[in-house]
């Protein structure tokens, strides 16, 4: 190496100063063997260390701080021997006072391996030629500087943190005519979905040609390239490849181009073609996909759709016999209903789409009730009912009805809770209430607020009942809980009747 090149190298290093290691241009190469490294004397007049300690491990991209201190005045040169054989001078002829600590901060750039640091202290600045000779023979510093020097050394381990990458290519399958052009888009991201900008993508094709063998990704991680199809029919593979680096793992993607081939018709059939189910009953539907010659098409995605009911999956893949299946569970219906379950093959570059449907008849099953009427009554002065359990708050009063019966008087917030079991879910029901007073009663069935029913303000009579229609969605097959809560200043309840 000429003295002019070395001088330029050192000037550049002085300008870059404490910037990250990876940004410094290296103009000198020398591999420092472990044998030479351990033979470098360690002097008490200078000390060099790294923030994690000698022999510590750093990952590429980690920050690092190098500290050096002298016990006498002099000029310090700090040399960094990288595992790749490159040599960087981090500190060049810096004058340091005795007892003063200095630091150099940067970023570990790699590559992986053992990185070694050597500190040189001299009473006068070191010339470019002497420093170059010292870099190539640090164990012979006594011969170069004739005893007027001090050295120290330290080392640390560098490992690479490789992040996974995903490369996709669009379109993945396409059909074009002979001698046609098509633009492909490659997208490169990390495994976590972060776009990778400025990365080289290498392209290759099995036939035809590509506009550029090398492209680079933009800010959104995408890179585009134009494919030119050959003049004859056939299947062409387009491949994009990211080679990776010390921080990023390699990845690749492929696309298939059908040149000049006609779309092949497909046929999709379902078994059974028609079926009858009860609500909650399950059936297996099998789709069979074939080409126009009756050959099964394997590895093709079948999409499933049903307007009502439940599908075990929304898509499945055909096996070697061209079959794919799904399980369908019938919904609850209020009348016998026909439901069309649809299977679709969306098609591909080579095969045309097709679809088929099966009609599922879901039969309405009328619930069988063990009881069709439940009641609770306070007319006699005591609570009577035919449910499972009754609890309430309030007091018995009279003189608020035309026939002098007893009513349960409830203040605001007091309530009645009535439990009953019909034996099945009723299709529909009606709740009749005989209530009188100032305000109304809030009706709650199985945790669902059905609304507030206003009370009669005049004397209560048998014909002044209030009614509330209840649908099957509000009932349960097991024990039902009806809660009536006073929402007025005072409300009086005579009777409740529940009819299905």
Q: What is the pLDDT of residue 425?
A: 83
pLDDT of residue 27: 53
Give the structural domain span for 21.
3-159
Q: What is the CATH number of the domain that holds 71?
A: 2.60.40.2470
Amino acid 351: pLDDT: 83
Beta pairing, strands 173-176 & 251-259 = parallel
Q: Is residue 182 part of a domain?
A: yes
Q: What is the pLDDT of residue 274?
A: 84
CATH number, residue 483? 2.60.120.260
Is 367 domain-assigned?
A: no
Domain harbouring 337, CATH code = 2.60.40.10
Judgement on whether residues 228 and 107 belong to the same structural domain of the protein: no
> Contacts from 298-305 at CB under 8 Å and sequence distance 24+?
298/322, 300/324, 300/345, 300/348, 300/351, 301/345, 301/346, 302/268, 302/343, 302/344, 302/345, 303/343, 303/344, 303/345, 303/346, 304/341, 304/342, 304/343, 304/344, 305/341, 305/342, 305/344
pLDDT at 127: 93
In a domain, 243, yes or no: yes
* pLDDT reported for residue 365: 66
Residues 123 and 21 in one domain: yes
Domain final residue pick, 240, 259, 278: 259
Give pLDDT, residue 23.
38
User: Is 222 a member of any domain?
Assistant: yes
| Residues of the chain where predicted confidence (pLDDT) is lower than 70 | 1-27, 246, 261-262, 349, 365-370
Would you say residue 452 lies in a domain?
yes
Listed residues 362, 394, 429: the one ending a domain = 362
Do the domain assignments include residue 368? no
Do 434 and 480 touch, CB atoms closer than 8 A?
no
pLDDT at residue 366 in the model: 64
Task: Give the C-alpha separation, 481 to 420, whole Å.
Answer: 7
Q: pLDDT value at position 1?
A: 39
Question: Which of 296, 327, 362 is the last residue in one of the domains?
Answer: 362
Number of folded domains that form the chain: 4
Do 298 and 340 sit in the same domain of this protein?
yes
Q: What are phi and psi of 268, to 5 degrees?
A: -120, 130
139: tokens are 């164990």
445-451: long-range contacts at Cβ-Cβ below 8 A with a sequence spacing of 24 or more? 445/470, 445/474, 445/475, 445/480, 445/481, 445/482, 445/483, 446/474, 446/475, 446/476, 446/480, 446/481, 447/481, 448/474, 450/474
């Amino acid at each position: 190496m000429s003295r002019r090149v070395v001088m330029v190298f050192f000037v550049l290093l002085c300008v870059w100063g404490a910037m990250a290691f990876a940004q410094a241009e290296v103009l000198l190469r020398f591999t420092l063997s472990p044998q030479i490294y351990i033979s470098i004397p360690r002097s008490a007049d200078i000390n060099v260390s790294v923030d994690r300690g000698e022999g510590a491990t750093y990952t590429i991209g980690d920050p690092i701080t190098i500290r050096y201190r002298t016990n006498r005045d002099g000029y310090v040169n700090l040399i960094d021997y990288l595992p790749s054989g490159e040599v960087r001078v981090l500190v060049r002829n810096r004058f340091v006072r005795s007892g003063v600590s200095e630091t150099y901060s940067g970023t570990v750039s790699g590559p992986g391996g053992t990185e070694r640091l050597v500190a040189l202290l001299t009473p006068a600045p070191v010339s470019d030629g002497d420093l170059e000779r010292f870099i190539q023979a640090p164990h012979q510093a006594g011969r170069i500087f004739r005893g007027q020097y001090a050295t120290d050394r330290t080392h640390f381990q560098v490992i690479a943190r490789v992040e996974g990458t995903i490369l996709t290519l669009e379109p993945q399958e396409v059909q074009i005519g002979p001698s046609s052009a098509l633009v492909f888009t490659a997208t490169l991201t990390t495994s976590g979905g972060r776009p990778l900008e400025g990365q080289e993508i290498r392209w290759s094709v099995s036939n035809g040609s590509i506009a550029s063998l090398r492209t680079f990704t933009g800010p959104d991680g995408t890179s585009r390239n134009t494919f030119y199809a050959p003049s004859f029919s056939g299947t062409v593979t387009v491949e994009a490849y990211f080679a990776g680096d010390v921080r990023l793992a390699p990845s690749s993607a492929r696309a298939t181009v059908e040149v000049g081939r006609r779309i092949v018709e497909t046929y999709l059939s379902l078994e059974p073609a028609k079926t009858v189910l009860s609500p909650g009953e399950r059936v297996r539907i099998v789709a069979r996909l074939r080409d126009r010659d009756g050959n099964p098409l394997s590895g093709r995605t079948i999409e499933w759709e049903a307007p009502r009911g439940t599908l075990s999956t929304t898509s499945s893949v055909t096996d070697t016999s061209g079959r794919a299946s799904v399980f369908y569970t019938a919904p609850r219906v209020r009348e016998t209903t026909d439901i069309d379950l649809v299977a679709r093959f969306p098609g591909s570059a080579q095969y045309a789409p097709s679809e088929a449907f099966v009609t599922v008849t879901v039969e309405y099953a009328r619930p069988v009730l063990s009881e069709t009427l439940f009641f609770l009554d306070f007319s006699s002065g005591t609570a009577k009912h035919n449910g499972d359990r009754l609890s309430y708050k309030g007091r018995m009063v009279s003189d608020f009805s035309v026939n002098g019966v007893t009513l349960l008087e409830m203040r605001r917030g007091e309530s009645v809770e009535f439990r009953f079991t019909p034996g099945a879910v009723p299709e529909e029901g009606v709740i009749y209430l005989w209530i009188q007073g100032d305000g109304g009663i809030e009706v709650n069935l199985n945790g669902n607020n059905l609304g507030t029913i206003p009370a009669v303000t005049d004397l209560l009579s048998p014909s002044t009942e209030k009614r509330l229609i209840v649908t099957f969605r509000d009932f349960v097959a097991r024990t039902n809980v009806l809660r009536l809560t006073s929402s007025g200043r005072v409300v009086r309840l005579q009777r409740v009747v529940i009819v299905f």
